[in-house]
Amino acid sequence: MTKRALITGITGQDGSYLAEFLLDEGYEVVGMVRRSSTVTFERIAHLQDRIGTVHGDLLDQASLIDLLRTYRPTEVYNLAAQSFVQTSFGQPVLTGEITALGVTRLLDAIRIVDPDIRFYQASSSEMFGKVHEVPQNEDTPFHPRSPYGVAKVYGHWITVNYRESYGLHASSGMLFNHESPRRGLEFVTRKISHGAARIKLGLDRELRLGNLEAHRDWGFAGDYVKAMWMMLQQETPDDYVVAAGRTHSVREFCNVAFGHLGLNWEDHVVVDEQFFRPAEVDLLVGDATKARTVLGWKDSTTFEELVVMMVDADMDLLSGKLRPIS
């Protein structure tokens, strides 16, 4: 049987890595893209002759039903979201429409068109927010700290609800932060790797950041997309934490990134109130024992390797050694 996967959010960081992975596994890959006045295909340009794209939007139920009827996927990976926490404070309703209700629109389209489709929901460690225990696992209570985190809790529970109500093969991956050279420029890791490279090349003198004490469990996105696929290969759908199991501060990220370029981060980083959040998630560190034992998932990238990978890629990008995404 042809294995056909539909990826929402294929133009995003994870969508591009997942598309590569599924193509290597022999899948036909179709990506849902939303209409835009400019091209947003930078991360998937190198795959465009190997994947299909179809227009649709998580805000538009009919478009979801239509594309499921047309493409008849066997697996659906819902990676689309308004995914930036800071923006969710300024646009809480839009974030809820896309990141929360969008999940219901897609699940309901699956229920109507083909309830045998296997479904992956991109849940998030942001659901743990003000953490009730350290490290966080599948049983840790949720306490989201942003409209984004609240929307992800809704998306998580509606996935569980459709599994329990309609018997859908619907799984939820509670993924901790994962990064790469393809990370959006507004997220702190890429902001630092890109900013440090600009300073090294004389294009900037300073980098303005917010809370340097926040701790995150950062892994490499290329490792994490495999866990998504592994969940849909299980006989029984379930929920899994996916994490590296280590935590580092934004300050430590700066230290390694600037240090790799022979710079002292303290000479360049300026703390700027505008990047602080109304409510902060201070510390995340995940316990991925279940994913490691049940799925056999493992990661392959240390914190230092991740930082260096991102800084080197930004040095290449900014110094004109433009490489195709690899």
- Sign, CA dihedral 8-221-83-183, equals negative
Nearer to ligand NAP, 16 or 261 (CB): 16
Under the binding rule (CB under 6 A), the answer on residue 191 touching ligand G4F is yes
CB of 103 to ligand NAP, least distance (A): 9
**Three-state SS for 241?**
strand
Give the per-residue contact string, 113-132, with ligand G4F (x = CB under 6 A; - = no).
-----------xxx------
Query: 247-306: which residues touch ligand G4F (CB under 6 A)?
Result: 250, 275, 277, 280-281, 284
Q: Which token pair is 135?
A: 């490290």
Contact residues for 292 (Cβ-Cβ < 8 A; gap 6+): 298
CA dihedral 295, 301, 302, 306 (to 10 degrees): -130
Q: Which of 135, 210, 237, 286 binds ligand G4F (CB under 6 A)?
A: 210
Catalytic residue among 17, 77, 120, 148: 148
Nearer to ligand G4F, 109 or 126 (CB): 126
Distance of CA 28 to the CA centre of its chain: 22
Q: Which token pair is 98?
A: 């896309």
CB of 61 to ligand G4F, least distance (A): 23
Please, where are the H alpha helices in the chain? 13-24, 61-71, 85-90, 92-95, 102-113, 147-166, 188-200, 221-232, 250-260, 289-290, 303-318
For ligand NAP, the binding residues (CB under 6 A) are 8-9, 11-15, 34, 36, 40, 57-59, 79-83, 98, 122, 124, 175, 177-178, 184
Question: How far is residue 283 from each of residues 103, 125, 156, 212, measured CA to CA in Å?
Answer: 27, 10, 21, 12
142 binds, options ligand G4F, ligand NAP, none, Cβ within 5 to 8 A by partner type? none
211 binds, options ligand G4F, ligand NAP, none, Cβ within 5 to 8 A by partner type? ligand G4F
CB of 245 to ligand NAP, least distance (A): 15
Residue 25 falls in the annotated catalytic set: no
Nearer to ligand NAP, 140 or 268 (CB): 140
Supply φ then ψ for residue 87, to 5 degrees.
-65, -30
Nearer to ligand NAP, 81 or 281 (CB): 81
Catalytic residue among 20, 75, 126, 179: 126
Under the binding rule (CB under 6 A), the answer on residue 140 touching ligand G4F is no
88 binds, options ligand NAP, ligand G4F, none, Cβ within 5 to 8 A by partner type? none
DSSP per-residue codes, 80-114: -S---HHHHHHSHHHHIIIIIIHHHHHHHHHHHH-
Helix or strand (DSSP H, E) at 299:
none
Residue 124 falls in the annotated catalytic set: yes
Amino acid at 216: R
Q: Which residues are catalytic?
A: 124, 126, 148
Q: Which residues bind to ligand G4F, rule: CB under 6 A?
A: 83, 85-86, 124-126, 176-177, 186-189, 191, 209-211, 214, 216, 250, 275, 277, 280-281, 284
